[in-house]
Amino acid sequence: MNSSSEIVIIGGGIIGLAIAVDLKLRGATVTVISQDFQQAASHAAAGMLAPHAEELPPGAMLDLCLKSRWLYPEWVRKLQDLSALEVGYIPCGILAPVFDIPKSQGDATWLDKEGINHYQPGLGSEVVGGWWYPEDGQVDNRQLMKALHQAAQRLGVNVLEGVTVEAIAQKQGKVSSILTSRGEIEGQTYVLASGSWVNQLLPLPVRPVKGQMLSLRMPREPHQPLPLQRVLYGPGTYLVPRQDGRLIIGATVEEVNWTSGNTPNGIKTLLDRAIRLYPALENWPIEEFWWGFRPGTPDELPILGRGFCDNLVLATGHYRNGILLAPVTASLIADLILQQKTDPLLSHFRYDRFFSKPLSTPMNTNGTQPLQFASVNGSSSIPQLPEPSTEDHLIIAGRKFRSRLMTGTGKYPSIEAMQKSVIASECEIVTVAVRRVQTKAPGHEGLAEAIDWGKIWMLPNTAGCKTAEDAIRVARLGREMAKLLGQEDNNFIKLEVIPDPKYLLPDPIGTLQAAEQLVKEGFAVLPYINADPLLAKRLEEVGCATVMPLGSPIGSGQGIKNEANIAIIIEQSKIPVVVDAGIGTPSEAALAMEMGADALLVNSAIALSKNPPAMAKAMGMAAQAGRLAYLAGRMPLKSYASASSPLTGTVV
Ligand code: FAD
Ligand code: GLY
């Protein structure tokens, strides 16, 4: 499938579909690509329209939610007309019972025990009163999703169900196309609305926050109203009565990454709280259990507006209020795309609030301080120092570096020790594990921001990837991460495909496959490999920028165990050879450089030493010394002693 559409929306949850319908109604040609309708949080949600019950503090988020709640009646009327489906919108008000009298009572309407029982008879005996939020309400989000889908199709939106976007291709600062499980799709503008999954495509700090839910069937007596008429938003749980007799009970809030499924503990917790709130439900039949992933951001606000590229728009991270926020999101995003109108509210939800400003300092790889040498007099009998003082640059993918030492960021006792070590080593390239930085793995929090990327060239790496596919995906994220941190033209990737957790040895086949693909996608690929000369040659042939043979297993500090093979790689290679992994001491670093390696990558030996900055400096000096020694050419090896002072001309 190779197709094109004016606007391509990635994600068919409530946000993607709502934007699609709005754009289509304004005359655009729209395609929605949806991996899996059932997995959407929009399907799992409770459907509360509850800016007040959710206790949002005054500010831009509350304003956005209130605006959306205000848009709701007209928005659902339009959708019902377009789809001929009911969506169960009920501006029923929300009661928020509490078990302890609150200290401050704010502006909301407080109901005492008697008052709240008047609104909702049958509340638990521990309820002491509660808040009444008359303007909050609910919608049946599953019905709403059906209606949106139907409306989109009836309007002529091209909805591609069961299709996954695998990558966003970019050229010269613009998205050029998207690569999907069914081929390439081109558009003029792209909207990224893939909920919790967004950071599989771009390095945005959106994480899945799991919520477990269940539903009961309320008893329906002839000619009697249902026992619950309004949403009850209690401590740690809420009860949402639907008009069809279902009672939705939610929801847990769990930071368990992508762990799916309902758990006995999750469901028990919900039921205990629900029964405390409204005891009669303990005997009602259970109908269904389910769960979903809220797209959570660090500040719990959505990400809305223009993205990394001119023609990319972001609409994600709606966390607990995406059902509520659908109408306003659709309207603001459609205004932005079709009328280039940026509502002032959007300024609070820009993606770049999460990233420190790119540094203005230009990359400092040319004309920087040369290595310092002891001065020599101009005597012509003394050979000139070899070139490294001014000319001997390491050149990778056309980019010049003065230092031949690359360092890493892992395993340091502290971020400060890492920062000092990077400076002391005088390295110009630092590798960072895309996955660990993104997931903020222990020791990697704030790491990307801790380095002055105006001075240091980032080498994103695919550490943690076990397969070629995984590594390709993470490489793409790495490119975006470098961009975000101000290195627009950084296409470097250190490719690691390591299926074996014990010895951490790279998979040669997976590495070659991933390298081929990444080279095709325009990456400068620096593959980490075993010291295998044939593989090194193949990687060179497919267009890699360097090869990075290991000296010995990663983090082992065993030094250069594969000397003979590394020597062959160096001899036959036309691209830089970077000895990576295993170096434990500066003498081993110097040895690799004396052998003719073009550069080194050293991490553990620095980070795990007793004084990382001092060891970093020593490694930097060793790389220089080894390089200079290599250029100077070592003396010939002899089998017999040869006196240091010549004997000729001496008086006997
Ligand atoms: P989703 O609904 O998750 O949709 C994203 C879609 O993108 C999915 O269908 C997915 O398959 C697709 N996708 C992902 N990656 C790709 C890809 N690479 N290619 C193609 N497609 C892709 N909000 C409220 O306002 N009120 C509530 O009462 C409420 N209750 C909630 C209760 C629970 C338990 C949960 C989990 C959420 C609740 N929310 C509620 C929050 C709300 O559901 C979300 O904020 C909202 O649904 C997010 O919508 P979305 O379209 O951004 O993401
Ligand atoms: N807004 C309800 C929830 O996210 O659980």
Residues 79 and 184 in one domain: yes
pLDDT grade, residue 428 (50/70/90)?
very high
Our separate counts of H helices and E strands in the chain read 16, 28
CATH code at position 248: 3.30.9.10
Please say whether the dihedral angle defined by the alpha carbons of residues 308, 350, 138 and 99, taken in this order, is positive or negative.
Answer: positive
Residues 32 and 121 in one domain: no
**Whether residue 105 has pLDDT greater than 80:** no
Report the pLDDT value the prediction gives residue 169, as an integer from 0 to 100.
85
pLDDT grade, residue 555 (50/70/90)?
confident
Which range has the worst mean pLDDT, 238-242, 284-288, 561-565?
561-565
Residues 316 and 416 in one domain: no
Residues 221 and 160 in one domain: no
pLDDT grade, residue 308 (50/70/90)?
confident
Give the C-alpha separation, 72 to 138, whole Å.
10
Residues 491 and 600 in one domain: yes
- Three-class DSSP category at 115: helix
- Mean pLDDT value of segment 558-582: 89
Taking all residues of the chain, what is their mean pLDDT, rounded to a whole number? 88
Domain total of the chain:
3
Residues 189 and 212 in one domain: no
Residue 639 placed within a domain: no
Which range has the worst mean pLDDT, 150-164, 238-252, 346-360, 462-476?
346-360
pLDDT grade, residue 640 (50/70/90)?
confident
* Final residue in a domain of this structure, among 260, 292, 324: 292
Q: Would you list which residues are annotated within the binding site for 1-deoxy-D-xylulose 5-phosphate? A: 555, 581-582, 603-604
8 Å CB contact between 161 and 181: no
Residue 652 placed within a domain: no
Here the tokens at position 406 are 């690359």
pTM: 0.71
Report the pLDDT value the prediction gives residue 28, as an integer from 0 to 100.
96
Residues 472 and 493 in one domain: yes
Ligand nearest to C-alpha 325: 1
Residue 615 placed within a domain: yes
Q: What is the 113 CA–ligand 2 centroid distance (Å)?
A: 26
Q: What is the 64 CA–ligand 2 centroid distance (Å)?
A: 17
Here the tokens at position 158 are 């091209």
pLDDT grade, residue 207 (50/70/90)?
very high
Tell me the CB-side half-sphere exposure of residue 279, using CA atoms within 13 A: 7
Residue 651 placed within a domain: no
Tell me the CB-side half-sphere exposure of residue 55, using CA atoms within 13 A: 9
Q: Give residue-wise pLDDT tens across range 466-502.
A: 999 999 999 998 888 888 888 888 899 999 999 887 7
Residue 184 placed within a domain: yes
CATH code at position 336: 3.50.50.60
**Whether residue 283 has pLDDT greater than 80:** yes
CATH code at position 456: 3.20.20.70
Residues 569 and 620 in one domain: yes
Find the helix or strand (DSSP H, E) in which 590 lies: helix 586-594
Residue 647 placed within a domain: no
**Whether residue 382 has pLDDT greater than 50:** no
Is 494 among the residues known to form the active site? yes
Helix axis angle, 533-541 to 508-520, nearest 10°: 20
Name the residue at shortest CA distance from atom 12 of ligand 1.
Answer: 11
Report the pLDDT value the prediction gives residue 372, as an integer from 0 to 100.
26
Report the pLDDT value the prediction gives residue 398, as an integer from 0 to 100.
81
Name the residue at shortest CA distance from atom 5 of ligand 2.
Answer: 251
Q: Domain of 191?
A: 1-86+137-205+297-358+368-386
Residues 330 and 464 in one domain: no
Residue 557 placed within a domain: yes
Residues 269 and 164 in one domain: no
- Three-class DSSP category at 81: helix
Residues 76 and 106 in one domain: no
Report the pLDDT value the prediction gives residue 373, as an integer from 0 to 100.
27
* Final residue in a domain of this structure, among 269, 292, 315: 292
Q: How far does Cα 337 stand from its chain's mean position?
A: 25
* For ligand 1, mutation pick of 38, 39, 42, 190 (most atoms within 8 Å of CB): 42
Residue 43 placed within a domain: yes
Report the pLDDT value the prediction gives residue 379, as an integer from 0 to 100.
36
Find out whether the beta carbon of 544 lies less than 6 Å from any atom of ligand 1. Answer: no
Residues 142 and 284 in one domain: no
Ligand nearest to C-alpha 144: 1
Please say whether the dihedral angle defined by the alpha carbons of residues 348, 351, 352 and 354, taken in this order, is positive or negative.
Answer: positive
Quick one: which atom of ligand 2 is closest to the CA of 253? 5
**Whether residue 388 has pLDDT greater than 60:** no
